[in-house]
Structure 1
Amino acid sequence: MTNSPITNRIGAVFVHVTDMPKAIQWYSELLGLPIHADSHEGTIYSLHMDGGSDLLLDSNRRDDSSQNNKTQLFFETKKLMDSYHFVKEKGIEVVTEIEEHDNISFFTFKDPDGNILMICEDKRKL
């Protein structure tokens, strides 16, 4: 194994958005976080996540034609069914219904910009 000056940890994940105020409101409500002042002249908004990596909303989206139809990231939960009902009650578009496997269960949904997100329950951590 070689030594690397790069830390083995993800510092942040970018989610590209088209309407920063709407995205801030949507993600803050989804995750139960208070809204705070933005940074980078309003083009970056950091959602501080438990466990390390922050979620960075980035309004520098330039090209909607490259919209990715794959899952961008997942949020953890210990209560998948409660999380599913919470998302549905908020009127959020569910892309895939709950899938259950031996060690994990999950479902996917879209944010207001069409980014596909996942909520995942790791049964090994329960």
Structure 2
Amino acid sequence: MSHPILNAVGAVFIPVSNIERARDWYSDLLNVPVAGEILFGHIYCLPMQGSTTVVLDSKIYDPASVRNTPLFHFNTDDIHASFQLLKEKGIELVSGIENGHWFTFQDPDGNVLMVCKC
């Protein structure tokens, strides 16, 4: 019998205070067009490559739900260009490039995110 829980991540939820602002900010960050609609007035699914979806959700936002440590990372092929891009965009960097392959930054709600060269 196969196991009922699959070895795959379907979605990662990020609590955001303003769904429209978060949709625009993350779309700009990832250089993806704003596509689709805001569902139920509080959910936006970012168009991502691969099988994992990033879901922005303003209904689950509470200052206590803001992530102080990253739960996942965005991939990059060029960590230095990625770091420079976020710096130029004025995005709050939490760390410098660590061990030559990752760094952390904050979204407008204070969620800490990571970019990593794998």
Structure 2 Cα separation of the partners of residues 111 and 73 of structure 1: 14
Q: Residue 34 of structure 2 corresponds to which residue in structure 1?
A: 35
Q: Cα RMSD between the aligned structures?
A: 1.5
Structure 2 Cα separation of the partners of residues 66 and 28 of structure 1: 22
Q: Specify every segment of 5 or more residues in structure 2 that has no aligned partner in the other structure, as ranges.
A: none
Closer, same or farther: CA 46–25 of 1 in aligned 2, 3 Å: same
Structure 2 Cα separation of the partners of residues 79 and 62 of structure 1: 32
Offset at residue 7 of structure 1 (A): 1.5
2:35–2:47: 8 Å Cα contact kept in structure 1? no
Q: Residue 63 of structure 1 corresponds to which residue in structure 2?
A: 62
* TM-score, scaled to structure 1: 0.86
2:79–2:102: 8 Å Cα contact kept in structure 1? yes
Q: Residue 115 of structure 1 corresponds to which residue in structure 2?
A: 111
Please give the per-residue CA displacement for 1:22-62, whole angstroms capped at 9, x wherever unaligned.
Answer: 10110000101110232422211001211210100001134
Greater strand content = 1
Query: Which runs of structure 1 show a deviation greater than 6 angstroms over 4 or more consecutive aligned residues?
Result: none
Closer, same or farther: CA 49–99 of 1 in aligned 2, 3 Å: same
Structure 1 Cα separation of the partners of residues 88 and 3 of structure 2: 46
Q: Residue 22 of structure 1 corresponds to which residue in structure 2?
A: 21
Rg larger for: 1
Secondary structure of the residue aligned to 2:20 is: helix
The number of residue pairs the alignment matches comes to 118
Report the identity percentage: 42
* TM-score, scaled to structure 2: 0.92
Offset at residue 8 of structure 1 (A): 1.0
